[in-house]
Amino acid sequence: MEKSYLIKPMLDEDYPVIDYGKGVYLFDMEGKKYLDAASGAVTANIGHGAAEIMEAMQEQAKKVSFVYRSQFTSGAAEKLAQKIAALLPGDLNWSFFVNSGSEATETAMKMAIQYWQEKGIHTKTKVLSRWVSYHGITLGALSMSGHTGRRARFVPLLEDFPVINPPYCYRCPYNLTAPTCNYLCARELNQAIERIGAEKIAAFIAEPVIGASGGAITPPKDYFKTIKEICDAHDILFIADEVMTGSGRTGTMLASEHWDIIPDIVALGKGLGAGYAPIAAAVASEKVMEPILAGSKSVMSGHTLSANPQSCAVALAVLEYLEKNEIMREVENKGEYLRNELEKLIAQYSFVGDVRGKGLLLGIEFVEDRITKTPFPRHALVTQQMVSLAKEKGLIVYPAGAGIDGVNGDSIIISPPLTITTNEMEELIDLLAATFEAFS
């Protein structure tokens, strides 16, 4: 093979070259078939090769592919913003389109700071967050991320925004169980606010289900209610990072809906364009937009390719596809089926410690000793082993929480396209069992 000058994640590894995708499958140039149980990076929510999306791309390309947002708007961007306002709960009506999840969370952070400035409060500039979290790789987003592995090289450039523990019930730092724990991990936010001073804090950001850094760590019932109450009591905006959990991944448009909370600002990405085009959004409520509309009348952010008509047309087609095929309605049932099947694997393989998640965002944590929950030693690189064994078998799983934070164990995410059928889920389980067998 010719020398590759492409900077890939591991420069000394050979990556299969994908030829095409169809539904939940990817096929490489050698004809090997992979069941994409990760939707890439929890992104290809409607699977690969959907004809409707290709038609929408072609239609838009025939009209216009690019207009600059400071000069023009486009029908595609306007319709997408309207569709999002209609689909999201409460009055989360105002969309700022960007190209990646990192840009979306960073835009959300900037909107929160600007909200307070427009109200004449200039001290509220910090955005608090949790450890074992991931909000993106750009510096503002990385500052908010409690992902020590990804922060490590850039610590001097980052703000210390992560301040509290995540709701990691499997490894509760208090050794308690919800709800008798009284959600102490959420109440840590009170202490952090007291220490830092509410007058300095613009917002608190959290992923409803923790993805990349923890492997679908799912909060107990009243966790987010408690968080939201604390934020409201201290005049702190709540930003839900729904880049991974949004766009139907857990069976509702936003995962926040499962816990009956309406965030002040939401970040969407990944599944919004379902991988057919790069698009993400920071969506703000009327409350957040009110002082901006009455004040400077401009959100201070933007990228050259923001609200790109081609990407907006794709995202609109993806949302219409979800609606037309009533895909979200089936997600909880599919998730439950898959979760039950995964739980059966616990009985068979002693290194499966925990199965968790919401809808079709499921996580499996691996342990050396199930009784003591002792994680595998860091050097064992179990997450990586699982991912590559699965790939050998023709199964794509997403690596998460590879023990990077010293508190969480090795884990993988199972997040197939929401369109997966029962037969395909059976095949997924068989391939996963074969992977575990090879690991044993």
Can you give the binding site for ligand PLP, defined by CB under 6 A?
41, 100-102, 105, 134-137, 207, 211-212, 241, 243-244, 269
Contact 251, 335 (CB under 8 A): yes
Residues 6+ apart with CB under 8 A from 305: 66, 99, 278, 311
Return the residue matching tokens 């050396």. 368
Of 156, 115, 153, the residue nearest 137 (C-alpha)? 153
Return the residue matching tokens 């000069």. 71
CA dist., res. 238 & res. 229, Å (int) = 10
Return the residue matching tokens 């790109």. 308
CA dist., res. 40 & res. 155, Å (int) = 28
Q: How far is the CB of 157 from ligand PLP (least distance, A)?
A: 17
Torsion of CA 7, 9, 12, 15, to 10 degrees: -90
CA dist., res. 355 & res. 361, Å (int) = 11
Contact 396, 352 (CB under 8 A): no
CA dist., res. 347 & res. 440, Å (int) = 14
Q: How far is the CB of 274 from ligand PLP (least distance, A)?
A: 13
What residues pair up with 365 in beta bridges, in sequence order?
A: 354, 411
Nearer to ligand PLP, 109 or 231 (CB): 109
CA dist., res. 254 & res. 263, Å (int) = 10
Cis peptide preceding 156, ω within 30 of 0: no
CA dist., res. 150 & res. 145, Å (int) = 8
Q: How far is the CB of 136 from ligand PLP (least distance, A)?
A: 4
Of 225, 209, 206, the residue nearest 217 (C-alpha)? 209
Which residue number has the CB closest to ligand PLP? 101
Ranges of beta strands (E only) in 257-405 are 265-268, 280-285, 352-358, 361-366, 395-396, 398-400
CA dist., res. 241 & res. 220, Å (int) = 18
What's the CA angle centered on 417, arms 312 and 272, to 5 degrees?
20
Contact 400, 211 (CB under 8 A): yes
Q: How far is the CB of 43 from ligand PLP (least distance, A)?
A: 8
Nearer to ligand PLP, 101 or 248 (CB): 101
Q: How far is the CB of 316 from ligand PLP (least distance, A)?
A: 19
Residue type present at position 166: P
Nearer to ligand PLP, 254 or 431 (CB): 254
Nearer to ligand PLP, 135 or 151 (CB): 135
- Cα 25 versus chain centre, distance: 22
